[in-house]
Structure 1
Amino acid sequence: MNSKTVITIGRQFGSGGKEIGEKLAKELGIRCYDKELLAVAAKESGLCKELFENHDEKPTNSFLYSLVMDTYSLGYTSSYSDMPINHKVFLAQFDAIKKLAERESCVIIGRCADYALEDNPYAMSIYIKADMDKRVKRIMTKYQLNESKASDMIQKEDKRRASYYNYYSSKKWGDAKSYDLCLDSGKLGVEGSIELIKDFIALREKNF
């Protein structure tokens, strides 16, 4: 692995993306940021951590999206006064992701990290999917739900993630064009997915 390797992971709910990201980071000897990113963003922005927990990856309306993008483009990211809460949370996380990627090698799960780092030459974006039946079985086991409730939970979470990503980025959630590598964890399994990502990292760094 190069001196700087940053992997971002987008994932369908129930695909095992978080587990894959955590185990990948452990095998690479680097940190994985999922909920941990909230604490980092809160500390660096000076905002209350509870704000991040209450607004984590939650979609907003298109007007606020425009406001966020306009403000960010004007370079106001260092000041969070007089902004809507969702605006503050998004910009603080956006800044935290960029700073983390500059400081260290890491795996970052969700939160439009691939979009935040699209100009970072060390960043590699991964999207993890799986067939619905595989995801339903995983969620039924993990949360002790019946098939119907697991399926409903998956659909709602996928919709939430897609809404957040599509509002705050210029790309489309789950679209292959938005990522460097897309894989099916239902067919590869967790360990197989990790091995494929590691092979991808090695090949990309070889041709860096």
Structure 2
Amino acid sequence: MSDRNVSVITISREYGAFGRTIAQKVADLLSLPLYGRDEIIKKVAKESGYAEEDIRKESEQMSRGARWMNTFLNNAAVYSSSYDEIFKAQREVILELAQTPCIILGRCGGHILSEEGIPGFHVFLFADRKTRLARAAQLPENQGHTGRDLERLVNKREEGRENYYRQYTGCSMGDARNYHLSLDTGRIPQDVCAQMIVTAVQSEQR
């Protein structure tokens, strides 16, 4: 993959791979706005009229069990239609944000830009399971979860994230061919990862 005149950086990541932390460091180094899950959800809610809670559920309920249960208890066509419409609204917001230089974290941002032929530099962050579990234990959303309970929770979040990506892109999130740069955040320090991304992006702009 090779794009010139890059103005947008997208960062996809495994759960617990320090995605938000590294994205913020890159944003600070380049003085660019960062749009992650919360920022994008708020903007989608404002522009589409969907409730923030419904938008969050659209991605959180992508684990196989939750997806099956919702489909079983509700009309499958209505369930799919409402969540697909939310994704379409999110897609429009991401395309709008990409009109000016920024960093987009998650939300299938890289795939959405690539589909539209919009230049971007696409990054994937991953780490070994031990690193990701340790990081997950530090996150406020997982407070009170330890041991096997934490592992089950992380498995659910990982499955949901992968299923969400596959549902709307037809690809595996971890396929390196979809990115310009993939970094192992379990081996490479966060500050170094951020600087590597900045250096790579700047080299693309020469």
Name the TM-score, length of structure 2 as normaliser: 0.80
Question: Equivalent residue for 1:98?
Answer: 95
Q: How does 1:105-124 map to 2 (within 5 A)?
A: 105-118=101-114, 119-124=116-121
Question: Equivalent residue for 1:40?
Answer: 43
Equivalent-residue separation in structure 2 for 1:139 and 1:172 (angstroms) = 22
**Change over 3 Å in CA distance of 1:8–1:154 after alignment to 2:** same
Secondary structure, in 3 states, of the residue corresponding to 2:50?
coil
Please give the per-residue CA displacement for 1:87-138, whole angstroms capped at 9, x wherever unaligned: 2210000111011101x21111111111110044431111100011111122
Question: Equivalent residue for 2:204?
Answer: 204
- Following superposition, the deviation at residue 147 of structure 1 comes to 3.5
Question: Equivalent residue for 2:58?
Answer: 55
- Following superposition, the deviation at residue 177 of structure 1 comes to 1.3
Equivalent-residue separation in structure 1 for 2:51 and 2:137 (angstroms) = 34
Secondary structure, in 3 states, of the residue corresponding to 2:98?
helix
**Change over 3 Å in CA distance of 1:58–1:27 after alignment to 2:** farther
Equivalent-residue separation in structure 1 for 2:34 and 2:5 (angstroms) = 16
Question: Equivalent residue for 1:146?
Answer: 146
- Following superposition, the deviation at residue 149 of structure 1 comes to 2.9
Q: CA RMSD in A?
A: 2.3
- Is 1:135 equivalent to 2:153 in the alignment? no
Question: Equivalent residue for 2:9?
Answer: 7
Contact 2:41 2:55 in 1 (8 A): yes
Equivalent-residue separation in structure 2 for 1:55 and 1:196 (angstroms) = 33
Please give the per-residue CA displacement for 1:116-169, whole angstroms capped at 9, x wherever unaligned: 100444311111000111111222233444233332222211111110100100
Contact 1:172 1:178 in 2 (8 A): no
Question: Equivalent residue for 1:194?
Answer: 194
Question: Equivalent residue for 1:77?
Answer: none
Equivalent-residue separation in structure 1 for 2:130 and 2:117 (angstroms) = 36
AA aligned opposite 1:23: K
- Following superposition, the deviation at residue 22 of structure 1 comes to 1.7
Structure 2 unmatched runs, 5+: 72-79
Contact 1:136 1:147 in 2 (8 A): no
**Change over 3 Å in CA distance of 1:205–1:4 after alignment to 2:** closer
Question: Equivalent residue for 1:76?
Answer: none
Secondary structure, in 3 states, of the residue corresponding to 1:117?
helix
Secondary structure, in 3 states, of the residue corresponding to 2:164?
helix
- Following superposition, the deviation at residue 32 of structure 1 comes to 0.8
Contact 1:21 1:107 in 2 (8 A): yes
- Following superposition, the deviation at residue 4 of structure 1 comes to 6.0
Equivalent-residue separation in structure 1 for 2:33 and 2:149 (angstroms) = 33
- Following superposition, the deviation at residue 54 of structure 1 comes to 2.9
Q: Identify the structure with bigger relative contact order (alpha carbons < 8 Å, sequence gap 6+).
A: 2
AA aligned opposite 2:109: A
Contact 2:6 2:205 in 1 (8 A): no
